Amino acid sequence: MSPRTVSTDQHARRGRLAKARQFAEAAEIVHALAGGQADLLDAYDLDVLLGMKTQAGYGHEPVTPERAVRSGRAMDALLVAAGIVG
């Protein structure tokens, strides 16, 4: 892993972790409010993407190729569900 170019202080780390927790909470809320199987799958796909975002941004290990592929599939599924792509 390459060294950080700018060191972060305790306040910045806390802010970043708080933002990651907000994203995780949003995924939980979407999951709880899901009305049907399709909504549940959408919530799962969102959770996959947010989980990778957190790992990539704050984890000590790089994102694995398998997780990147899984996240790409989740992104594609969400774009289809949103009607952005066919």
Q: Where are the domains of the chain?
A: 10-81
Q: What average pLDDT does this structure show over 28-40?
A: 68
- pTM over 0.85, yes/no: no
Could you read off the pLDDT of 9-33 as tens digits, one per residue?
887 888 888 888 888 887 777 667 6
Residue carrying structure tokens 């959770």: 47
pLDDT band at 46 (very low <50, low <70, confident <90, very high): confident
- Averaged pLDDT score across all residues of the chain: 81
**8 Å CB contact between 52 and 24:** no
Between CA 74 and CA 53 the distance in angstroms is 13
